[in-house]
Structure formats: C-alpha cells, structure tokens
Chains A and B, each alone.
Chain A
Amino acid sequence: MKAFLLSLLLVPALVLAQAPVIEISGANFRPLPLAAPAPVVQDGADKKTAQTFDTAFTYDLAASGIFQVLDRAGFTADAKEGMTAGSINFSRWADVGAESLVKVSLAQDGGALRGELRLFSVATGHEDLKVAKDAPANEPRQLAHALADALYRHFTREASPFLSRITYVRKAGANRDVFVADWDGMNAQALTKGGTHILPTLSPSGQVAFTSYRKNRPDIYVQTPGSEAKPLVTDGQMATGVAYSPDGKRIAYALAEGESAQIYIAAADGSGAKAITDTPYGLNTSPTWSPDGKRIAFVSNRGGSPQVYVMGADGSGVKRLTFQGNYNQTPDWSPRGDLIAFTARDERNAFDLFTVNVDTGKVTRLTQDQGNNEEPTFSPNGRLIMFSSNRIGGAHLFVMTSDGNNQLPLPMEKGNWLTPDWGSAPAAK
C-alpha cells in the first residue's frame, strides 16, 4: 500500500562536487542513511543537557522523512574518534551502512550553549557542512532544532519544520485547554486554564485564535502567548473554526444561523465580515485557505453528506472535490498547493486520513487499521502532516510524511491531545 503512495526522492546532485542533495517528488525515494553518533560533550557542558539535546536532535532527523537514522547499537567506530575529517575512520562508518556522518560537539560558556555540527560524506571523507549555533544553556532543545534545521536545509534547500510552532487542545476531564508548543509538542505553554476552548489555529504572526465557550456559546477569541485572550468574533451567533489567510490579513470562519452554517470572511481583526456561502439549509464549515490566498476549501453537506468543496475566496465557482465515502471533514490545504488532507469516516466507522489532489481529484489513503486518525495539519513546508490518533490509547499527536510514511508519535507525554494546527511560519523567538 505504502509503496504506491507518493513519496519524496533524494537525488544526489550530479557531478558538481559538494552540491547538496536535492529533494523532489518521486516513486524511487530512498531515505539517506545517516549516522548521527551521540554528541561530543566538551568542557562546561553537562551530560544531562547533552542528552536532552541528543533526544531532540535525533527525533527531528528521524521524523523528517528524508533520513534513515542508523541504529547506534551497530556502530563500530572508536568512541573517542575526533570531529575532523583527518581523525575519522570513514571505513568504519561505511561498514555500518552510513552514507553521511553528522558529528556534533557541545560546549557551554556561561549562560550559552554552543553546538558545532559537521557533516561528512562517508564515501569521500569530505566535510560537506560545518555550522555552529548558540542557544541559552537551559534550552538545549532549541539548539537541537536549530542544528537539525541547518542539516535539513543543506540537503533540501528548504526551510525545515523544526523551528516552527504548533497549537493543540488538551482534553482533561470536562476541560479543553489550548496550548502552544514547539513543533515536536515539547516546551508547551497553556493559553487557557479550565473551560472549553477548542479548534485553535496559529496566525502567521504567532497569535492563536480559538473557539471558546466561555459565554456558553461558541465565540472566537485571539490570544498572544503570555497575554489575555481578546474577542475576535463574538457577535451573538455561533462562530467556530477560524482559519488565517496565508498572508495573515484575513480570516475565514463558520457562523451558524438557525438550521444552516455559512462561511464568512473578515479582516484579521474581525471587521468587515461577509458571508461567502449561501445555502439555506446546508452546513458549511472548516474553511482552509489555498497558499496563494485565492481559494478556500471547506466542508459542506449540501450534497447530502459532508464532503470537501473548493471555491474562490469570494465564494465564486464552488466545486465539489471529494466523492468517496459519506463523511469527509477537517480539510487542510498543503502549503505546496497541490494537496488537501482530510479526515474520512469509512464503512467501519473508523476515521482515517486521506489527501486529495486539488487539480486531479485523486484521493490517496494515508492511514489504515491503526485506530482513529483525525485532524490532519500540514507542516509549513508541506512535507509532513501532523494528526491526532488513538492508536496508542487516549489521543496522541503523530507526525508522518505527506505520503503517509514514517508515522511517529510526538515525544510528548501521553494524554488527550487533539486538533493540532501547525503554524505557517517559524516562530520569532
């Protein structure tokens, strides 16, 4: 099944020496076998810090979908091997199947943690990349994401998702609270404390808009982490599920009016709201913007069952996109533009994730036979999809490549984590 899914392809750049690997789509994708030994801890850095760094760094690489991070249990290199090409016995790295070797050393100087990363081609012994980054000494995860980002950029020439932020809901008892966190779900910060707050979404500027029942009906609020929530759409009707346009200047949301719900567009501050759907009895919900901001995909039951539709951002040219199954919901438009991920309920009443190609209508299944999988959200570069799944009990957040491969749980504690939304831009930290 997976073999049929669209996948990424790493093509070693031809002839041009030192050129990094370029990533393109293709069926012959093979993750790059990468050896990443534990970081070398130099004077001043403590082992616990190094371990935290290492866990975050290797998780980033493993979840990226472009590397096969080799099992350290198989390594045969001398544990005291150095950081420079001259001191590395490359044949030992070749013997364990590595094509690239990434070495990191950590040093602490006062309040700063410095990480130096060197990437080597095992076949040639050439040092392909050398980069150093600093982070506060108590933020080794931040340093890990920055160095993993440098490595990802080297191979793909794209920004990684490792510096981006996510928002999600934690269900605990009767409460639903909104959190923001690093891309891997760690370093989480609660925005609300108690009550029912759902469907959070990150604006390109890092604000979080969410639906809140603090007045016993759904209203939309917006909050900057560290400050109080402000009303965004609270005009007395039931407003849910806000989505920011890619430039952050507009919002789309659903407003229930009696028997129906319509999609509205407004400025980012909630002003100038205007309905762009007009179906007397149907429900229109869950808007998501195309990356150029010109179109909106949404869910409508105007055809009898909830299906994904696409229209212009002014409501023109409505076109039904999905025809399979009888219950499709929570669409998320890829920042690459080509795909819309969505949740579908199948005949066994299980929820699974699919993508539909916007141009061709081709539907691709991403999950199967692993519990319920819901609420897909694309990474800012479109290469990964995060979702909520109950496959390991409760509800946990998972990440996979956009073709459904390499499904990994986020390294956060177990809990009831729901409705993730992946921010569209790296946070300005």
Chain B
Amino acid sequence: MGMGGGKGGGGRTTMSEINVTPMVDVMLVLLIIFMVTAPLIQQGVKVNLPETKAAPVEAAEKKVVLSIDAGRKVYIGDAEVPLEELETKLAANAKAQADKEVYLHADRDVPYGVVVEVMAAAQRAGIANVGMITEPAPGGKTSNSGKAPAAPSGKGKPKEAKR
C-alpha cells in the first residue's frame, strides 16, 4: 500500500510503505506458539508427548493445561471435557482468561486436525497464547537459558518466553 504523494511533480515524492509478510499458519493467526518441555508440568493427563529439541520455557506460574490423550479425549487439568464444551469452559475460566494463555499437552499419536480443533476452540474462547508441551528429544541438547531456539521443523514460530 503505497502512500506516494503527488504525481511526480518535481520528482520528489515521499513513499511510506508497510511491508506485511503474511503469517502462514492455518487457523493460528492469533496463536503465538512457543514450546514448553514436559518436566515443568506436573499436572494433567498421561500422554505420550512428541519429542523436540526445543529448550524449555521457564514457567514461573502454573497455567491451565489442556491435554489430548491418545484416545482423542480432551482434558482441562485432569477433568475430561467434551470438545464441544471446551470453548465455554475456557471462556468462563478465570485463570485462562487472566493471562489469555494455556498450555497444550497432546499425545504424539493425535492427528494434527484434532490438535487444531482444540486450539481453535481455545482461540474462540479468547486465548491468545497456546504453549505446546513437548518432550526433550533423547540426546537433544537443550539450553536452560529460557529462550527457545529456532524450531527445527519450521512448523510454528517459537517465541521467546516472556518469563
């Protein structure tokens, strides 16, 4: 969108343009994703986590943890919630709404589509940030700096942890 002024009179026109690189992630326009590794989370349902080499995010406070187990059942903490009720539950959840942030803890065998459905429900409930909980890869080097390095796969955009 150029804002070029004048019609070339004198040849001295001002150009001010904003170059917007579109964000590619489907459904995730508002979801800023960062990685949280498992050892920081003690609660929730037992799921088989994907392994990544992402470094842990230092979680200073306990967030609401959403889980999706291998049977595609969805939980808030350890309470099973039907997917169709998830949006309502999260919209009325004072803790999730306080900082608009939850952690998502999905079994590695859960199809991507199911994960996206859960994330979309969270988004509709006004949750702006969804932290993905992963397992450190075996032998994977993780720093403890509190910063996530660039994602290995390019899927999602790791964001520097706030804390």
Contacts and interface: CB of A to CB of B under 8 A. Distances in A.
Interface string A63-94: 00000101111111110000000000101101
A97 B91 CA distance: 12
B92 A95 contact: no
Contacts of B64: 95
Contacts of A270: none
Most B Cβ at <10 Å: residue of A72, A73, A78, A96: A96
B106 interface: no
B94 A70 contact: yes
A89 B77 CA distance: 11
Contacts of A76: 76-77, 79, 81, 89
Contacts of B79: 76-78, 92, 95
Contact of A94 (B62, B88, B90, B92): B62
B46 interface: no
Interface string B51-67: 00000000000101100
Contacts of A68: 94
Nearest to B77: A95
Nearest to B93: A74
Contacts of B43: 91
Contacts of B3: none
Contacts of A97: 93-98
B78 interface: yes
Interface in B6-53: 43
Contacts of A204: none
A231 interface: no
B94 A33 contact: yes
Contacts of A73: 88-89, 91-92
A251 to B, nearest CB: 47
A146 B92 CA distance: 28
Nearest to B64: A95
Interface residues of B, number: 20
Contacts of A72: 92
A70 B64 CA distance: 15
B78 A74 contact: no
Range of interface residues on A (Cβ < 8 Å): 10 to 19
A335 B90 CA distance: 41
Contacts of A92: 77-79
Nearest to B75: A76
B94 A95 contact: no
A139 B76 CA distance: 38
Contacts of B95: 94-97
Contacts of B62: 94
A76 B77 CA distance: 9
Given A94-B62, A95-B64, A74 B90 contact: yes
A177 B8 CA distance: 78
Nearest to A77: B79
Interface in A329-351: none
A288 B157 CA distance: 64
A88 B97 CA distance: 24
Contact of A71 (B77, B92, B98): B92
A297 B149 CA distance: 67
Most B Cβ at <10 Å: residue of A94, A95, A98: A95
Contacts of A74: 88-94
Contacts of B98: 97
Contacts of A96: 92-95
Contacts of B90: 74
B88 A95 contact: no
Interface in B76-130: 76-79, 81, 88-98
A98 B93 CA distance: 9
A16 B95 CA distance: 27
A74 B96 CA distance: 10
A124 to B, nearest CB: 15
B77 A91 contact: yes
Interface of B: 43, 62, 64-65, 76-79, 81, 88-98
Interface of A: 33, 68, 70-78, 89, 91-92, 94-98
8 contacts: A33-B94, A70-B94, A74-B88, A74-B94, A89-B78, A91-B78, A95-B64, A96-B95
Given A71-B92, A96-B95, 8 more contacts: A73-B88, A76-B77, A91-B77, A92-B77, A94-B95, A95-B76, A97-B95, A97-B97
